[in-house]
Amino acid sequence: MQEEPFVWTKHWYPLAVVEDLNPQKPFATKLLGKDLVIWQDADKQWRCFEDICPHRLAPLSQGRIEPSDGSLQCSYHGWRFGGSGAAIAIPQAAHDSPQSERTSLASKRSCVATYPVQVQLGLVWVWPESGPHAFIESSAEQPALNQRVKEVAPEDVALTTNQNFVRDFPVAYDILFENISDQARHCHYTLTSFASMFLLWTVLSHLASQWANHFEVTNLNKDKGPGDAYTYDLEWSPDAIKPPINQKVKGVPPAYIEYFTPKEDGKFTALWFYVIPLDEHSTRVINHAVVVQPLPKLVKVLAAARPRWIDHLLLNEIFDGDMAYLAQASANSKRRDGFGNSWAQDYYLPARADGSVLGWRKWYHKQGGGGFWEASGREATPAPVLTREQLLDRYHQHTQNCPACSKALQQLRTGRKQLLGLAAALLLAAAAQLGRGAPPISVAAAAPVLGALASVWLSEKFAGWQAKFVYSDYDHTARD
């Protein structure tokens, strides 16, 4: 059956995690190259506007939520907008006369373009078309959700991991979608071992085993349903030491990738990603996972007590391993025509493990029309040249918009200052003891010095942990 061309603007995209948003502050974002602002109105409804004030085209995301009525105020000239997008106050017109303001407010030109919004599974979803037709069309469509997780009882979820990790990457959408669809990436062997040891799941996964290179991709598109880009069965060992697990994998455009691992008695684990095209050269990833199966009580208690930022640091490490070369791979893939249409000639995909990439590329360049920008008839633009620090910039790509990580970073910064202050005070105390005639090797003089050295040592450890929230270089050549 001939599939209809994919229309990129007639689907739901998740753009934010609700718990990461501040209801008192507008959130600036992008989608398909369009500048948007997400905010919460007086009725506690999340709204999405085009991030342009109709007055003088200033960004509304630089405005504020007016406390008196919950409207969105443009900080440039004070215009205010309600949840429908209509202006509700124009101070300059009101200064002229009440009638002048009423006339200005009644004009459609004073309205902001609005986009349909819904909240599901803790995510804010946006439909990237505006106008009355968009609200009608979007109401008939559902976002791509993990239906099993949506239907499972909360008490049956034994463990959540990754905890709605969000990061914006300076890499083209098709390359990042392809990358996440491919579990045969060699760089993850060391990283998966690091994550497993860190979470105390195993202390042996760094050892070589017969499963270290075991990847079997079978049944490509056998279970493909309407709306799927690809499906396949994957047999592999996530920690490279235990016997392989069997996963059902599917990619559902425009954004959803799911890894489903069935267990006995209807139990399962599910890992999923949303890959969202912000603009031609940047992509947002949202990642979450759940375990629905019996686990030891101690494991559940420890997992529930861990802070969210621990999962995020591990995921930043994993993604940095990919980003270290993906930007160049993206540029290489588009060097001929700007859209990667020569992939069939440029890629050599001889192994069965390449099946996921093959399935994605066939869909993307056929039904997907080569992506939103090519399908829209736009000219390709070259990707910006980035420094290493810009490519692996954890702070601007993740930390600044993650409350858990930004709080942890601030605590580390404060703690480091306090430790250095303590070290200085202890050294002064030691000097005072020496000034009173205490022997240099006495407890009175040596103890403060030792305490100061310990404080400085710990402050340096804090500095190292602090860097993990900001920038950490990833050099594949220096890793086993």
- The domain spans of the chain are 13-139, 147-386, 406-478
Instruction: Name the superfamily (CATH) of residues 13-139.
Output: Rieske [2Fe-2S] iron-sulphur domain (2.102.10.10)
CA distance 337 to 329: 15
**Packing angle, helices 173-181 and 355-365, rounded to 10:** 150
pLDDT at 195: 43
Query: Which pTM was predicted?
Result: 0.91
Alpha helices by DSSP H, 10-90 = none
> Which of 3.30.530.20, 3.40.50.1100, 3.20.20.70, 3.30.470.20 would CATH assign to domain 147-386?
3.30.530.20
Least-confidence region, from 60-64, 202-206, 331-335, 370-374 = 202-206
- Pairing of β 34-40 and β 256-262: unpaired
Region 286-305 average pLDDT? 86
Six token digits for residue 59: 């960004």
Indicate left, alpha or beta for 343 from its phi (over 0: left) and psi (-120 to 50: alpha).
alpha
Mean pLDDT of the chain: 89
Phi, psi of 74 (to 5 degrees): -80, 130
pLDDT at 243: 75
Residue 251 has pLDDT above 60, yes or no: yes
Question: pLDDT tens digit string along 151-181?
Answer: 888 778 887 887 899 999 999 999 999 999 9
Peptide bond into 254 cis (omega under 30): yes
pLDDT at 192: 42
Question: pLDDT tens digit string along 356-389?
Answer: 899 999 999 999 999 999 999 998 898 888 999 9
Contact 42, 71 (CB under 8 A): yes
pLDDT at 463: 95
- CA 408 to chain CA centroid, Å, is 18
Task: Please give the residue that has the higher pLDDT: either 443 or 51.
Answer: 51
Region 108-129 average pLDDT? 96
CB neighbourhood size of 439 (10 A): 11
Six token digits for residue 310: 């621990």
Number of H helices, E strands in the chain: 15, 18
pLDDT at 91: 95
Residue 187 has pLDDT above 60, yes or no: no
Distances (CA, A) of 120 to 42, 56, 124, 280: 20, 34, 7, 26
- Pairing of β 46-50 and β 34-40: antiparallel
Question: pLDDT tens digit string along 207-237?
Answer: 445 555 677 888 988 999 988 999 999 887 7
Strand partners, 118: 125
Six token digits for residue 286: 């949202």
Question: pLDDT tens digit string along 439-467?
Answer: 888 888 889 899 999 999 999 999 999 99
Residue 249 has pLDDT above 60, yes or no: yes
Distances (CA, A) of 6 to 260, 265, 338, 378: 25, 37, 20, 16
pLDDT at 2: 61
Strand partners, 291: 159, 269
Question: pLDDT tens digit string along 300-353?
Answer: 888 888 899 999 999 999 999 888 788 888 888 888 888 889 999 999 999 888
Q: What amino acid occupies position 400?
A: Q
What b/e readout covers 139-164, taking b as 16+ CB neighbours within 10 angstroms? eeeebbbbeebeebeeeeebbbbbbb
pLDDT at 211: 57
Six token digits for residue 243: 């016997």
Contact 192, 240 (CB under 8 A): yes
Six token digits for residue 91: 């101070």
Compute the chain's Rg from CA coordinates: 26
Give the torsion through C-alpha atoms of 97, 98, 99, 100, to 10 deg.
Answer: 50
Percent of residues in the chain assigned helix, strand, coil, to nearest 5: 40, 20, 40
Contact 185, 176 (CB under 8 A): no
Strand partners, 214: none
CA distance 459 to 343: 49
